[in-house]
Structures are given as structure tokens and as C-alpha cells.
Amino acid sequence: MSSAGGAGENIVETHPSLHLDAYEGPLDLLLDLIRRQQIDIFNIPIAQITQQYLDHLHKMEQLNVEIAGDFILMAATLIYIKSKLLLPPDPTASPEEALDPRVDLVQRLLEHEKFKNAAQMLQQKQMLEQATWSKPDAAFAGEEGELVVTLWDLAKVFREVLARPPEPPSLEIHREEITVAEMMDEVRQLLRGTDAPVALVDLCRRHPTRRGLIALFLALLELVRLEAVIAVQSELFGPISLRKHKLFDVVFAGEAATEIDEQYN
């Protein structure tokens, strides 16, 4: 308890200068404050440390550094601990509640420090490892551009495939064989993720061939009829755009597209 009071006004003079942006989180900052001043972590002068911690947050504010919520939460925790230490012990409290309110924080700090040390050890091991060579490393360099694959690669690649803009039409690509069902599917892909309208002209450009345009036209007629898609024209002879309509999800959930396709075959 005594530590909560004025333990070290003298230390405040030698206020450690810290690089604010160097701290990854509140635990980092707090731990550094404690270690730099060689404070006994099992007897933290909470008042002093809280003040220093808050000073740092103020400095960050002045520097317009965006202060993460984690830092604020820690400030609140520190103030709470400080206030608890100032209160006389509650005689009715259970032994558990009567514990030093700093205990939890100390545990977290120690845990955090352990991993910081472990990280350093790992780095040393890695540097040592880098000084040795194993021959087949050469083979790892990727035979014929092949990759060793993890689940992360798989998920990442899928995201990228989905995000890929559709290929611009090219003369080499023969899209003549495209079916009405495929065309409907394409419209679905196009409109699925968005409520924004898509210009009909753009869609037509992607299918410059005669057969492609016919399939597109038939697909759109069907989709409009089924109320999966609505065609909008804001002014006479203005550009036509397509948008999801009320039955969009319903129509594409079923086999409507294939059924329709069969009618055209």
C-alpha cells in the first residue's frame, strides 16, 4: 500500500524519454516504463506509473498520434487500481477480493515479458540458422514456378480469383458456344455482390459476337420476366442499366436457369 503513495517523486524528474510510436500496445509501454526505471514489478508504485502513463498518452495526443482503444482501456485500469489502493481495506471483503489489485496487471506484464524474451531467443536462433546451408535449398527455390502450398495460400488465392476483374473480350476467345444459362449465370455473378446498376452497354461489349449477343438478349429477357433483374432507363433513348430485382435470390437459388436453357436447346 505504501508504494501507492509518493514512492518516487525523484524518479519523475528522470522521466524516461520514450518513443511513443515504438510501443505496440499498452503492455509494451507500461513494461518499458517499469523496466527503464528499474522498478520492482511486484511492488509497482501505481500512482507514479499511472501519471507517467497518462503523460505519454497526452504527448501522443499532442502529436496527433491516433491512440488505440487498448491504450485508453489500460489507462482506465490503472486509475481503477490506483483508486482501489487508496481506499482502506474493506473488512467485509472475501479474501479473494482483498487481494492486491495490482496482481492481475503484474501477471499480465510478466506474461508479456516472457514472450518478449522468447521472441528475442527465436531471433537469435534464426540468425544462427541463417549461417548454415542445407543443399536441397536450391530445389526449394521453386521448380517451374510451383509453390509449396498452405491453407492460407488457398484462401488467399480464392479471394484473388473472386476479386479479379473479368477479362476484356479478345478476338482469340471464342465465346460463340456460350449458352443462355451461362449467360444468366454471368449476369448473376455480375449483380450478385452489388445493388448498383450495371450498364447494359458494358455487358454487350463483353460479348461482341452475334451468338453471344443473342444469348445475352435471351438471358436478359428471361431474367426480366422472372423478376430477377430489372432494366432501367432514366430518360428516353438514354442508357439502359440493369439492377437486381426482387426475385433475384429466389430465381438463382433454384434450377430456373438450366430449365430455361433447355428450352433453347
Instruction: Give the number of other CB atoms < 10 A from CB of residue 46.
Output: 25
* Radius of gyration, CA atoms only, the chain: 33
CA 167/CA 160 separation, integer angstroms: 14
How far apart are CB 236 and other proteins at their closest, in Å?
35
137 binds other proteins (CB under 8 A): yes
- Please count the CA atoms within 13 angstroms of the CA of 13 that sit on its side-chain side: 4
Report, in Å, the least distance between residue 235 CB and other proteins.
33
195 near other proteins, rule: CB under 8 A: no
DSSP-derived 3-state class of residue 118 = helix
Cα–Cα distance, 41 to 3 (Å, whole number): 11
Strand-pair partners of 242? 198, 231
Interacting span for other proteins (CB under 8 A) from 23-31, 90-98, 206-214, 220-228: 23-31
CB 67, min distance to other proteins, A:
13
Q: Which of 38, 62, 92, 94 binds other proteins (CB under 8 A)?
A: 38
Least distance from C-beta 40 to other proteins, angstroms?
6
Site for other proteins in 65-124 (CB under 8 A): 68, 70, 74, 107-108, 110-123
213-to-85, 173, 175, 190 alpha-carbon distances in Å: 78, 15, 10, 16
Q: Is 142 or 238 the residue whose CB approaches other proteins more closely?
A: 142
* Closer to other proteins by Cβ: residue 33 or 239: 33
Binding residue for other proteins (CB under 8 A) from 134, 210, 235, 236?
134
